[in-house]
A and B are shown apart, each in its own frame.
Chain A
Amino acid sequence: MLNARVIVGEDKLDIEITTAFGADLMSDVLSFARSGCLLITGLSNPQAVRTAYALDISAILVCRGKSLTDKFIEIARELGIPILWTRFIMFESCGRLFQEGLTGCIRKTDGTEEKTIVR
């Protein structure tokens, strides 16, 4: 679906993730993301991994084919954060996953809409 490559976490391919949050700005991830979600981001630096670790985010999908440094991969291994990698842009990555049934970990920042989408 995304032709995603598993960079870190081959052993964790069976974890179930039902929600996601997409952002390049870790300030927004720290403010709005919820534990257990998939973080879709074009930011492939150690701070993205450390942000995911702080929030108990289940995995990171690096989009837009961003290059990954050894340091990024090393920290992801150390902190146990699975890393997926795709050449799809953020919009395509999110759209395709949404179509497969993933939903936002929150829907709106003011919490006025319920999380679960009625299909």
Chain B
Amino acid sequence: MSGDDFSESLEGIYHIQGRDFVDAGIVSSEVKKSLQGKGISESIIRRIAVITFEAEINIISYAEQGTIQLFIEPDAVIIEANDAGPGIADIDLALQEGYSTADDSIRELGFGAGMGLCNIKKFSDIFELTSLVGQGTYLRSIVKLNG
């Protein structure tokens, strides 16, 4: 869905199964581990770990399955989350703080406040969200490495 090709800088690809809550959050932990020792500042790694966490939980919560890809470019880290699922009919609404369609299983896990997408946007330097209803959702977040 994106015109840019970052394939040369692919650092990791993580597959996520929808509704599989047991290991929810593990992709974020793995992404964080893989960014350490590369000269990237702790605060930037934190932002990326949070972005990945929120995107991962959304795929598990709402989609059938999906992938998160991590790219490390010389000047930026790119997180791409792609899923096959119901998609988002109204993106502006989904981006409103507090809007959530999360069910009880998601709330029990400690999520579903309607903050995730806002939080991803807040921590991204460039944020892109597109979706096709009945097909899936594509999210791209770019975090610049220097300023």
Contacts and interface: CB of A to CB of B under 8 A. Distances in A.
Interface of A: 24-28, 30-31, 35, 43, 45-48, 50-51, 53-56, 79
B109 to A, nearest CB: 6
B49 interface: yes
Given A28-B113, A35-B42, 18 more contacts: A25-B112, A26-B111, A27-B115, A27-B116, A28-B115, A31-B115, A35-B43, A35-B46, A43-B110, A46-B22, A47-B24, A47-B110, A50-B28, A53-B28, A53-B29, A54-B32, A55-B46, A79-B29
A45 B109 contact: yes
Nearest to B116: A27
B23 A55 contact: no
5 contacts: A30-B50, A35-B43, A53-B28, A53-B49, A54-B46
Nearest to B23: A46
